[in-house]
Amino acid sequence: MTFLSFPFITLGIVSLLVGALWASKSANPRFAAIFAASCSFGSFLLCSLEVAKAGHTRLFDPWLSFFEADALDAVPMAFFAALTLLVIILAPKRDSGGKALAGILLLAAATQTTYAAANLAVLATGWWFTSLPFVLRMFGEDRSQKLAQGFLIASSIALTAAIAVLHHIEIDEISHASNLAFGLIILAVVLRKGLFPLHGWMISSFEHGPLLPLALLFNGHLGALLIARSETTALSLSEKHVLEFLSIAALVTALITSLRGFAEKKPRRMLGLLCLSQASFILAGIATASAEGITGALVHWLVVSAASTGLIAIVRVLEVRVSGSTDPTEHLGLAAKAPRLATFFLVCGLALIGLPGTLGYCAEDLIFHGALENHHWIGIALPIATAFNAINLLRIFNILFLGVLPKHVIDIPDALPRERWPLAVIVVFLIAGGIFPSKVLRWREEAAHEIEAGLGLDKAEHSEH
């Protein structure tokens, strides 16, 4: 066993938990916010240092050896820590009470635990804990959250059951029990990622739920992580039919949610459908079982996380500014008052749908090429979903930012400094990554190789040569 030189993972998670504890007890919301931001910044620093150390091999945490850093999880951990920090900074006052901040930090700690898990039991524990802030209603009392809670718990139960079954059988054994275990893992992924036909809870959460915590829950991409992890650990998900099923599920989700957007008028629901559709590309990319597709999927993971967090945060800050028009169906014309927020929204959205010049373009280009290699129908259908999503993105943009400014919107501020700089960071990442994609691809190259190795693709390539 090789260990990290410093307990980066343990300290990173502990700092988030300490922040959560402090925020929940703090009477002063301002101090709670500052402390929460500091803790998440600390976690981000530790994760970034860990990325520098983690490389080709698995490195275990010296304090808690059931945590590990490898090529697959190190970058997403740092990225998720950065997203947590951005969400805390971007959160409007009404969303950053002590309890809500504690919920966000708890969610972040649970997600980081899932990422860093060195075995399936720890992974399942982290998976369970991501539901905890919603079950404890740390983001307010909202009846619609019950649906999300139900699905999150169901997915956790499915994963736990799968692990329990796997514990009792030999991995290589082909039996009804192993099929059951794989079926349960797939069910956990479908429930968690909101794949068709079980995507309704995610859309409902976007419509009624707390947007910023949802951005973190959504961008954990734990379903994709589980599949990628299962492949790297050769959990026999290399059984082709499992990948076939996942690719079909992801493809159908991408297409149906993109199409569903045409029948919607509420920005929150449209945004939910857009994010869900584009996020399905990650799983579709991994399921292509080709080097290009897998690398594209892992880069798209970062694109979806950054861009959707930007979009969700902008929608939320606008809702807070324009009282009485939460989830409008008519045009709001806010570009006249908030041109910078409009620009940030447009850039994040265009990156999400893969406009050339943004990182999204490179990611989607790789996924489409990878898909054409092995799954032609994915390579043909995904561009169709992207086209539909692009139209829906412009519809959301039109509703929020174009048209006549309503009479009750007399004056609202454009992006505040606290909002401007985090959003600028996201936009710079998406554009600079698009102009110089090789750098970002290099971050994910090793993880892609690991997944390829899990699928036996590298051997197949060697034998071809």
**Contact positions toward another protein, by CB under 8 A?**
142-147, 196-197, 199-201, 203-204, 208, 256, 259-263, 290-292, 295-296, 331, 333, 335-336, 340, 343, 350, 355-357, 361-362, 365-366, 368-369, 372-373, 379-380, 383-384, 387-388, 390-391, 394-395, 398, 401-405, 420, 424, 437-438, 441, 445, 448, 461
User: Least distance (Å) from another protein to the CB of residue 396?
Assistant: 11
User: Least distance (Å) from another protein to the CB of residue 217?
Assistant: 16
User: Least distance (Å) from another protein to the CB of residue 152?
Assistant: 15
Q: Which is closer to another protein, CB of 33 or CB of 350?
A: 350
User: Least distance (Å) from another protein to the CB of residue 117?
Assistant: 28
Q: Which is closer to another protein, CB of 143 or CB of 168?
A: 143
CA 383 to CA 395: how far, in whole Å?
19
Q: In whole angstroms, how far apart are CA 22 and each of 30, 35, 403?
A: 12, 8, 44
Q: Which is closer to another protein, CB of 93 or CB of 376?
A: 376
User: Least distance (Å) from another protein to the CB of residue 127?
Assistant: 23
What SS3 state is found at 427?
A: helix
CA 133 to CA 119: how far, in whole Å?
23
The residues, any chain, with a CB within 8 Å of residue 270's CB and separated by 6 or more, are 261, 264, 392, 395, 396
Task: Look at residues 238, 150, 258 and name the one whose alpha carbon lies nearest to residue 196.
Answer: 258
Task: Look at residues 362, 337, 340 and name the one whose alpha carbon lies nearest to residue 351.
Answer: 362
User: Least distance (Å) from another protein to the CB of residue 141?
Assistant: 12
Buried b (16+ CB within 10 A) or exposed e, 413-429: ebbeeebeebbebbbeb
Q: Which is closer to another protein, CB of 55 or CB of 339?
A: 339
CA 335 to CA 402: how far, in whole Å?
6
Q: Which is closer to another protein, CB of 143 or CB of 408?
A: 143
The residue type found at 414 is D
CA 56 to CA 71: how far, in whole Å?
6
Q: Which is closer to another protein, CB of 104 or CB of 390?
A: 390
